[in-house]
Structure 1
Amino acid sequence: MTTRRAFLASLLAAGTAPHLGWAAVGDPAYLAAAKLPGGAFALAGIRADGSRAFRVPLPARGHAACAHPSRAEAVGFARRPGRYALVIDCVAGSVRHELSPPEGRQVNGHGAYSADGRLLYTSEQRTEDSRGFIGVWDVGAGYARVGEMETFGTGPHELRLMPDGQSLVVANGGIRTDRWDREKLNIDSMTPNLSYVSLEGDLLEQVELDPELSRNSIRHLALREDGLVGFAMQWQGDTADGWPLLGLHRRGEAPVLCEAPLGDELAMQGYAGSVAFAGDGSEIAITSPRGGRLHRFSDTGAFLGAVSRTDVCGLATHAEGYMASDGLGGVLLVDGQGAHPLSRADAAWDNHLVRIAG
């Protein structure tokens, strides 16, 4: 059996292709990790019509990815808690670099490039206490690690570059986990928050929910061009409580919680897996693979409706609404009229669809 070390060595040896743009790999609009028949893993590029643009192998299960803003290069992240992130040349199908955080750190499944693509920011936590950090990597220097900043919270998950390109927003989940696995150690004392951090590492603003919502772990993020942030949550208590799983926030204002009717809320089983704004920005949606549901809300928080889809989780902005993916290989367009299947792959799509800018 090929070892992970041998797998990476073979890919690194092939990594000699020049830096080309996304057109060189079929103009994908999205990235998604997948599990293939037989148990192998891959990162795929998906076009806006649902067709596959490319597929490159991964050595283990992927979670999310981030796309370089100008060249066909992506960083695929291990599922939390992980020890690696792979810089993948999507043209050559090769690994250019394997990024490992410092000793005593874990990679938490997400990252973001700076607007000019010169820096990469990664979501990390300290192993001993789950304190959050942002790793900073110099792309032009072969992804050399050049610094780090605090996330100002515990158990960070997704981070995103704000539309102004001058700050990051971080979803601090508030969960302290065991150093070796995903066991949660502080359910009764969770402190989730949404933190805005300057690119110099200063805390610009921080949002915490009411104490009764302390078990609502803030996990994933969506951004609108005007700076409105959507944050998806995962409830760490009794799922029969039916707490809201989506919030909206604009800097300088109080957060708005988006509530569905109780029956719809209960159907989500306390879990929002992905979040995205619709193409025109007028609404936002979350998915629940556990509940097999997609919930749509207006940009003011009003519930607009639900779509049922088995194991749906991946979600991203599409010009006509949303692009979604499921664990059965389906890729579908979702709009105000419902879900419209576009393609089905012989693969199980993982949690996220990541939109490629441009």
Structure 2
Amino acid sequence: MATRRGFIAGLLAAGGVPALSWADAGTPAFLAAAMEANGAYALFGLKEDGTLAFRLPLPDRGHAAAAHPTRPEVAFFARRPGQYALVLDCVTGAVLRELEAPTGQHFYGHGAFFQDGELLATTENIVETGQGVVGLWSRSEGYRRIGSFSSGGVGPHELIRLSEDRLAIANGGIRTHPGSGRAKLNLETMRPNLTLMNASGHILGQVEPDRALHRNSLRHIAALPDGAVACAFQWQGDVYETPALLAIVRDGVLQFADHDALLWTEMQGYAGSIAIGRSGPILTGPRGGVLARFDQAQRPIATERRPDVCGIAARAGQVLVTDGLGHVFRAGHGELEHLEAHPVAWDNHVVALT
């Protein structure tokens, strides 16, 4: 079986002429990773109609990706606790750079480009202390690591760009250690938070759930048009409790969605991803097989059942949804519109190209 380093060396040798834009990669609108029928992994470019723009082989299962805003380059992150990320040329398939977490740290599966694509920010963990870190990588210097700063909490997961010099970080509050696999080591004392930062790592704002909800781990986030941040949670407490899994942070205040015991019970305490539709936030719940739509006031307005539905992303008014059975949907105002079915098992996340 090929090793990861051998796989990467082969792609590096493939080389190719650098591409200029996403048009050279088939003009994809979204990116998503998947496991193919033969057990191999690949990254796919998806067009707005759910058809494929490109396919790139991957050495292992990943988690999420960060797409450069103009160049057909993507940073693809290993599933936590991961030691590497790959920067891929989506035209040639070449590996432009393998990013390795510093000694004693690991990646947490997410990242984002900001400052017009010049900088890549990655969420990371310091193994011995459990403190979260945001790593900074310079694209113009061949994705050289140029620094890092605290994420403002423990267990940073998704990180998004709010503007060219502002980031939002979902600190899940859960401490992990590579030696313990994916075990959660501090559920009794965990403290999730949303941290807003500038490009220098200065904290601009920070909010966390009330103490009674300290086991509601903040995992995924999405920016609203007015600059607020919608938050998706994964409950780590008693399975018989049904806290809301959606909140919005606006003007420094965290406000949870209305309590809907039936909905949160159906989602089994687990929101897999989040996007912003025309009416408001949309949550996916793969464990319960639920897609839930909310209005701007976070009131539930519609739910749909779809086994293993998880991937979701919004772009230019279109919301694309994927499930673990290979299906691709469009989430409009009505029921999910089926677009395509591919012979793959889509992974957890879809990334929109902006």
Q: TM-score per shorter chain, which class?
A: over 0.9
Tell me, yes or no, if structure 1 residue 301 matches structure 2 residue 309: no
Q: Which amino acid aligns with 2:146?
A: V
Whole-Å Cα distance in 2 between the matches of residues 141 and 96 of structure 1?
A: 12
Whole-Å Cα distance in 1 between the matches of residues 327 and 315 of structure 2?
A: 16
Q: Secondary structure at the match of 1:242?
A: coil
Match of 1:255 in 2: 254
Whole-Å Cα distance in 1 between the matches of residues 223 and 275 of structure 2?
A: 8
Segments of 5+ residues of structure 2 without an aligned counterpart are: none
- Judged with a 3 Å threshold, the aligned counterparts in structure 2 of structure 1 residues 321 and 45 are, in CA distance, closer, same or farther, namely closer
Tell me, yes or no, if structure 1 residue 326 matches structure 2 residue 323: yes
- Judged with a 3 Å threshold, the aligned counterparts in structure 2 of structure 1 residues 300 and 96 are, in CA distance, closer, same or farther, namely same
Whole-Å Cα distance in 1 between the matches of residues 143 and 252 of structure 2?
A: 36
Q: Secondary structure at the match of 2:336?
A: strand
Q: What is the root-mean-square deviation in Å for CA atoms of aligned residues?
A: 1.2
Shift of 1:129: 2.7
Q: Which amino acid aligns with 1:188?
A: E
Moved more, 4-13 or 256-265: 256-265
Matched-pair contact (CA < 8 Å) for 1:56–1:94 = no
Tell me, yes or no, if structure 1 residue 225 matches structure 2 residue 225: yes
Match of 1:178 in 2: 177
1:310-335 CA-to-partner distances (Å, cap 9, x unmatched) read 10000111455521000000000112
Aligned positions of 1:24-63 closer than 5 A: 24-63=24-63
Match of 2:333 in 1: 336
Whole-Å Cα distance in 2 between the matches of residues 206 and 94 of structure 1?
A: 39
After TM superposition, which residue ranges in structure 1, 4 or more long, deviate above 3 angstroms? 318-321
How many residue pairs match? The answer is 353
1:60-105 CA-to-partner distances (Å, cap 9, x unmatched) read 0011001111111101100111001100000001211100011000
Whole-Å Cα distance in 2 between the matches of residues 156 and 308 of structure 1?
A: 30
Q: Which amino acid aligns with 2:254?
A: P
Matched-pair contact (CA < 8 Å) for 1:15–1:89 = no
Shift of 1:178: 2.6
Matched-pair contact (CA < 8 Å) for 1:130–1:155 = yes
Aligned positions of 1:74-113 closer than 5 A: 74-113=74-113
- Judged with a 3 Å threshold, the aligned counterparts in structure 2 of structure 1 residues 268 and 165 are, in CA distance, closer, same or farther, namely same
Whole-Å Cα distance in 2 between the matches of residues 97 and 319 of structure 1?
A: 30
- Judged with a 3 Å threshold, the aligned counterparts in structure 2 of structure 1 residues 83 and 291 are, in CA distance, closer, same or farther, namely same
Match of 1:68 in 2: 68
Q: 2:349 aligns with which of 327, 348, 352?
A: 352
Segments of 5+ residues of structure 1 without an aligned counterpart are: none
Q: Which amino acid aligns with 1:264?
A: L
Q: Secondary structure at the match of 2:348?
A: strand
- Judged with a 3 Å threshold, the aligned counterparts in structure 2 of structure 1 residues 82 and 136 are, in CA distance, closer, same or farther, namely same
Matched-pair contact (CA < 8 Å) for 1:256–1:301 = no
Match of 1:15 in 2: 15
Q: Secondary structure at the match of 2:240?
A: helix
Matched-pair contact (CA < 8 Å) for 2:308–2:325 = yes
Q: Secondary structure at the match of 1:264?
A: helix
Shift of 1:142: 0.5
Whole-Å Cα distance in 1 between the matches of residues 17 and 272 of structure 2?
A: 35
Tell me, yes or no, if structure 1 residue 287 matches structure 2 residue 284: yes
TM-score, normalised on structure 1?
A: 0.96
- Judged with a 3 Å threshold, the aligned counterparts in structure 2 of structure 1 residues 147 and 225 are, in CA distance, closer, same or farther, namely same
Whole-Å Cα distance in 1 between the matches of residues 303 and 242 of structure 2?
A: 15
Whole-Å Cα distance in 1 between the matches of residues 83 and 267 of structure 2?
A: 31
Matched-pair contact (CA < 8 Å) for 2:315–2:353 = no
Identity of counterpart residues, as a percentage? 47
1:6-39 CA-to-partner distances (Å, cap 9, x unmatched) read 1111011113321321111111111101011111
Q: Which amino acid aligns with 1:296?
A: R
TM-score, normalised on structure 2?
A: 0.97
Aligned positions of 1:197-212 closer than 5 A: 197-212=197-212
